[in-house]
Structure 1
Amino acid sequence: MFTVRRAALASTLLLTMALSACNSTDDATSESTGQAAASTVATTDCPSGAPDTSATPAWEFSGATGAIAVIAPTDDAAPGVEVTTPFSVDETTVQTLEPASGAIVEDTATVSVCYLGVNGRDGSVFDSSYERGAPAEFPLDGVVTGFQKAIAGQNVGATVAVAMTSADGYPQGNPQAGIQQGDTLVFVIEILGAEG
């Protein structure tokens, strides 16, 4: 029951974020958007192992209230975000956790990513492609502003984290995902590929 509910919540969030596809191999979705599947997309799954809690955080950040400590993903383990609640920011902040030398991601590119989304208010995970074990693919000009700010201008292959204001996330909240008006959101994002 919990797994079904989590999957339904993830699907709802992806739709709310206006993601055009949930899997880089979905040819029907690619055809309906008029775009070919990204040619630089990795075919590997998102690692679903538990975060390495003994690892040194790749990013520690104190907000206007609270703080976060972000553990980067590995080949076998999902990322982790430890939150001192309530965590909030007055300005969206992006941190590169693992740099890369791939192509620069344009602000209108279609990207393939593995990602984890955490609510700063209570530290809960509200969406995770790592839990689903598969990357998501979507056009950057179809997602919330903070997600776009985190990815555009980065290099393919990089892993980034973003702490986004409510204004750059869901200013009115998103009750289906448990996001209230004013919530700061934290994402950890592995950029697997980009096209366009």
Structure 2
Amino acid sequence: MAAVNAFRTSSVAVVACAALSVMTLAACGSDSDTATASTSSSPVSDVFTPPSIPETKPEDSPCPPAAPANTGAPEWTLPGATGSVAVTGATDKTAPQIDVEAPFSVTETQVQTLKAGDGPVVAETATVLVCYMGVNGRDGSVFDSSYQQGAPVDFSLDGVVPGFQKAIAGQKVGSTVAVAMVPADGYPEGQPSAGIQPGDTLIFAIKILDATSR
């Protein structure tokens, strides 16, 4: 898998910023972050700027771009300190849906398993292959989505912001999960290129396709 550095923090810039267990977010999300494609042996692109993706027919992609049908009640509804969020996970044919009553914020990061997989448990330092959609709680906008790109991305969990690691580590491969993360677990100083301001709560719907432990 070609590594994708989702949510880089200060020692390798969220793979460059620091190893996730000890990383600080002081320098993350700055305008100096640039998107680069690379192999798993060197820092690569921020998840907010997806890497080059091979052409894939939408119907053949594990990250289908089709909007979900009206399936009734969402799988997760979370009232926040302000606003609320409702999440419906992806299916084999459709992308997830994240509906926000803005501005939405939380005072602690919360993770919800939408559908449990039956694969191996994902280690904290695993390299994972995922489909994801990220939404800003401040205004409900989608700031990044591999579903829009139509292909999954891969990255090491010890090179991502804490909220993304908290959402995935300990889950089983095949699971779909959602996370609402406090700014300290995402980009406390903002990420201007993605429209993220300091203090924004971020929400992700994630489908875990594979994981490789080191």
Structure 1 residues 166, 48: closer, same or farther in 2, change over 3 A? same
User: 2:79 maps to what in 1?
Assistant: 62
Whole-Å separation in 1 of the counterparts to 2:41 and 2:62 = 22
User: 2:109 maps to what in 1?
Assistant: 92
Structure 2 length-normalised TM:
0.74
Unmatched tracts of structure 1, length 5 or more? 1-10, 34-42
Q: Describe the superposition over 1:52-83 as per-residue Cα deviations: whole angstroms up to 9, x where unpaired.
A: 23432010010100000101111111001000
Runs (4+) off by over 6 Å: 11-16
User: 1:128 maps to what in 2?
Assistant: 145
Whole-Å separation in 2 of the counterparts to 1:13 and 1:108 = 14
The number of residues matched between the two structures is: 171
The percentage of aligned residue pairs carrying the same residue is 58
| Alpha carbons 1:119, 1:126 under 8 Å: kept | yes
Whole-Å separation in 1 of the counterparts to 2:148 and 2:194 = 15
Whole-Å separation in 2 of the counterparts to 1:55 and 1:66 = 21
Whole-Å separation in 2 of the counterparts to 1:51 and 1:109 = 30
| Alpha carbons 2:75, 2:86 under 8 Å: kept | yes
Asked if 1:29 is matched to 2:39, the reply is yes
User: 1:166 maps to what in 2?
Assistant: 183
Structure 1 residues 14, 150: closer, same or farther in 2, change over 3 A? closer
**DSSP 3-state at the match of 1:81:** strand
Whole-Å separation in 1 of the counterparts to 2:158 and 2:133 = 19
| Alpha carbons 2:7, 2:161 under 8 Å: kept | no
| Alpha carbons 2:179, 2:205 under 8 Å: kept | yes
User: 1:39 maps to what in 2?
Assistant: none
Question: Per-residue deviation at 1:148?
Answer: 0.3
Asked if 1:50 is matched to 2:60, the reply is no
**DSSP 3-state at the match of 1:167:** helix
Whole-Å separation in 2 of the counterparts to 1:109 and 1:169 = 19
User: 1:142 maps to what in 2?
Assistant: 159
| Alpha carbons 1:117, 1:187 under 8 Å: kept | yes
The one-letter code sitting in structure 2 at the alignment partner of 1:134 is A
By percentage of residues, which structure has more helix?
Answer: 1
